[in-house]
Amino acid sequence: MHDLLATLYYWLKAGHLIFVIFWMAGLFMLPRLFVYHQEAAPDSPENAQWIDRERKLLKIILMPSIVVVWMLGLLLAYAIGAWSQGWFHAKLLLVLGLSGYHGYLSAYARKLASGERTLTGKQLRLLNEVPGIAVALIVILVIIKPF
């Protein structure tokens, strides 16, 4: 198994990065959709369109992307023996945080769909910064491997 992973390493890495980009794009887009959604009248046709857009983003882009990111990421970690390296533990913690953030956004989409609007536009705009900060830290950890 380890020899096969070593042979496929660069393909796994390329796939991992491609799906990380898809996942991050969705995580950046969803809170922005929420801002526009909250500006629509609750019982309007526009509100229904925002619900549909958010649902499609979650089901077509975000969910498959997070699954592939995790699968390929774990395979890569195994292939390079990352489990004993400090930088990997920090990266894993950040990816777990991003996964929780993804879950939080999914839950908020369900709230919006049911008519609950518990966050302000400003709060949603601030939430939009979370993946950018996390991915910047992850890239530094993976490239620099500071510990």
Q: What's the pLDDT tens digit per position in 24-45? A: 999 999 999 999 999 999 999 9
CA 27 centroid distance within chain: 5
Long-range contacts made by residues 39-45, C-beta under 8 angstroms, separation at least 24? 39/121, 42/115
pLDDT score of 1: 76
38 contacts: CB under 8 Å, gap ≥ 6: 112, 117, 119, 121, 124
Residue ranges of the binding site for heme? 16, 91
Cα–Cα distances in angstroms (integers) from residue 14 to residues 24, 46, 75, 134, 143, in the given order: 15, 38, 13, 20, 15
- As given in the structure block, the two tokens for residue 28 are 């950046």
Residue ranges of the binding site? 16, 91
The model's pLDDT over 77-117, given as tens digits with 9 standing for 90+, comes to 999 999 999 999 999 999 999 999 999 999 999 999 999 99
Alpha helix (H) ranges present in 45-113?
Answer: 45-56, 63-80, 86-113
**Which of 66, 36, 65 minimizes the C-alpha distance to 51?**
36
